[in-house]
Amino acid sequence: MSTSKKILVTGGAGYIGAHTVVELIAAGYEPVIVDNLSASDKTLLRGVQQLTGKTLNFHQGDCRDKNFLNFVFKTQGPINCVMHFAAFKSVGESVQKPLLYHHNNVGSVLTLLEVMSEHAVTDFVFSSSCTVYGQPDKIPVDEKAPFKRAESPYGATKQLCERILEDVHTTGFRIISLRYFNPIGAHPSGLIGELPIGIPNNLVPFITQTAAGLRKKLTVFGNNYNTPDGSCIRDFIHVGDLADVHVKALAYLEKDTRKNVYDVFNVGTGKGASVLELVNLFIRTTGAPLPFVIGPRRPGDVEKVYADPTRVNTVLRWSSRYSMEDALKHAWAWEQKLHKSH
């Protein structure tokens, strides 16, 4: 019988979940993956298998389905910790389909907590987002910054989930919310990376698809912001670094003997980079052609945000290993590999 600790990874067939599964396996954990494949397929799971040489313990099902979750907890147990990535994440789509987003993102958290409680599982790591801050008054933004009214239903679901988690932790849960800034890049092997469905909303997949000839040109949304080059500023973090934080969060919870924990960490590099800086770095480092134009601002975009990562650096003892250049190289290698294999 295996003695390694089992970690339930919801949304493990998706972008960040799949990268985290790789890091968990490398650190000696045994991931149990749950995903309903509503925003993914099995491509990344196959990549993880190739990368790790492990047969994955995967269960297809919905995190709002209590019977399904009960079955997984009963047959797989004991589960040491739940890492909850499963959610819908498109800001624009959430404006069109607010009920779907609230139902999926908030409903999944509620159902998972109920089932965890029934199976006496206490430890939970939640995928939150810097979107909870909106446009912060002070940059770099630290965890004490107040939530501004969310710009989108997606942002509202993350705020609501965090509130729920904070409320329930006093009843015996040990919870960490990780507020991710802008994850980019892919595994250095080129075997797993971002696989958006349809036209990408996010900057880097739009760039790599444009350079690969799938899109005609990139539009930079605005160059008249109050920033040095006029384009928006973000904190771009390599997805491999982000995956690594999850392993550090587990180690932290394992060492912590408190019965009730609610802890929040910003997960960013602490360095702001502008959209135009990133675009030019992509062209310089990959040599790939990237036609782009300057367009109007995208409604709802914040002008400038980057993390104060002091807490994650000192408390979780994590800092980023990869540069933005690495992330762009890896994202491009992944995009190229995708086209070779299809």
Which residue of 7, 14, 275, 320 would you call a contact of ligand NAD, by CB under 6 A?
14
- Residue closer to ligand NAD, measured from CB, 104 or 266: 104
Q: H-type helices in 77-197, by residue range?
A: 91-96, 98-101, 107-118, 153-168
- Residue closer to ligand WQD, measured from CB, 159 or 182: 182
Which of ligand WQD, ligand NAD, none has residue 63 at its interface (CB below 5 to 8 Å by kind)? Answer: ligand NAD
Q: Which pairing describes strands 236-238 and 30-35: parallel, antiparallel, or unpaired? A: unpaired
The tokens describing 161, both together, are 């989930």
Under rule CB under 6 A, residue 17 binds ligand NAD: yes
Which of ligand WQD, ligand NAD, none has residue 111 at its interface (CB below 5 to 8 Å by kind)? Answer: none
67 contacts: CB under 8 Å, gap ≥ 6: none
Which residue of 9, 24, 86, 156 would you call a contact of ligand NAD, by CB under 6 A?
86
- Residue closer to ligand WQD, measured from CB, 87 or 316: 87
For residues 154 and 89, is the Cβ–Cβ distance under 8 A?
Answer: yes
The tokens describing 42, both together, are 């099995």
For residues 250 and 29, is the Cβ–Cβ distance under 8 A?
Answer: yes
Which of ligand WQD, ligand NAD, none has residue 320 at its interface (CB below 5 to 8 Å by kind)? Answer: none
For residues 106 and 88, is the Cβ–Cβ distance under 8 A?
Answer: no
Under rule CB under 6 A, residue 332 binds ligand NAD: no
- Dihedral, CA of residue 97, residue 100, residue 103 and residue 109, to nearest 10: -100
For residues 10 and 84, is the Cβ–Cβ distance under 8 A?
Answer: yes
Which of ligand WQD, ligand NAD, none has residue 85 at its interface (CB below 5 to 8 Å by kind)? Answer: ligand NAD
- Residue closer to ligand WQD, measured from CB, 147 or 221: 221
For residues 80 and 7, is the Cβ–Cβ distance under 8 A?
Answer: yes
| Known catalytic residue at 180 | no
Which of ligand WQD, ligand NAD, none has residue 220 at its interface (CB below 5 to 8 Å by kind)? Answer: ligand WQD
Under rule CB under 6 A, residue 35 binds ligand NAD: yes
Which residue of 32, 45, 62, 165 would you call a contact of ligand NAD, by CB under 6 A?
62
Give the residue nearest to ligand NAD (CB): 14
Handedness of CA 162, 163, 164, 168 (dihedral sign): positive
